[in-house]
Amino acid sequence: MSSFPAPARAMVDAMQAAAADDPVRAVAFAGAPGANSHRAALEMVRDCLPLPCFSFEDAIDAVKAGRAGAAAIPIENSQNGRVADIHFLLPESGLKIVAEHFLRINHALMALGPGPFEAAYSHPQALGQSRRFLRERGIVPLSYADTAGAAAHVAERGAPDLAAIAPPLAADLYGLRIVEHDVEDAADNTTRFLLLARDPLPPAAIGEPAVTTFVFEVKNVPAALYKALGGFATNGVNMTKLESYQSGASFSATMFYADIIGAPGDAAVDRALEELAFHCKELRMLGTYPQERARG
């Protein structure tokens, strides 16, 4: 799928052609050139060939089809929570997490002119991260597929009362004027990215400390979650994330997404996971990878 605005298409075509010539080095990301995911791909794999894709699904499909060696996907933001759809897409993708990266996010308000502005386009995450800024100025938030694509869209529309919230690089790429820098509501605005690949990291490449990510569904019995998680406490395994989400329209099957510190092969981790599996209808391992930032 390719629905990039006209100002982005030449860059997208050139980057896609370069990636096609050397797909092993390609790192797929969702968004137009200049998006935060573009930055994350370059920081996670320094010598990669960034491969812009229109959506998260397209980026994941590029890896599954062999058009890219990996994909850089945002999973959660410190200010606006988890990224929509990722908890569903990741387990079903069949890909493995091989790295994490924490990216400091700076947004800018950009447009063709100085304003005033009736509306601003951006990805829903960026709009949520700039909610107070927009409300105070009476600017209507309008959702777009990605931040840099929103900047290209504003350039294509040519309307002086429309703006975009995007990384500052997008203004340079699409000929927009930065009206205001640092429009995110929190000074420490950070997004955690995951690097996905077809194959898991070999144990020797992981090192310590490691993070292991998995999803599970407990059996439908009283206190099942309490029992399932008890093994992590009794074995001294630190669980740093536990989130629930609904699977299916019946609202009767709750899935849980979890991160722990440690790796399979560690005796304590193995005992905790064995106890978890006993109380689960489903347990799916998504990857073990080096911890980039210590969990407090």
Catalytic residues: 191, 193
Question: Cα–Cα distance between 116 and 131 in angstroms, integer?
Answer: 17
Task: Look at residues 255, 252, 253, 251 and name the one whose alpha carbon lies nearest to residue 243.
Answer: 255
Task: Look at residues 41, 37, 35 and name the one whose alpha carbon lies nearest to residue 19.
Answer: 41
The string of DSSP codes covering 5-22 is -HHHHHHHHHHHHHHHH-
Q: Are 127 and 183 a contacting pair, CB within 8 Å?
A: no
Residues with Cβ within 8 Å of 281's Cβ and at least 6 positions away in sequence, in order, are: 217, 218, 219, 220
Question: Cα–Cα distance between 16 and 232 in angstroms, integer?
Answer: 44
What's the chain's length in residues?
A: 296
Question: Cα–Cα distance between 194 and 79 in angstroms, integer?
Answer: 18
Residues with Cβ within 8 Å of 99's Cβ and at least 6 positions away in sequence, in order, are: 44, 194, 195, 289, 290, 292
Q: What crossing angle do the helices spanning 267-278 and 224-234 adopt, rounded to 10°?
A: 170
Question: Cα–Cα distance between 55 and 72 in angstroms, integer?
Answer: 12
Pairing of strands 254-261, 210-218: antiparallel
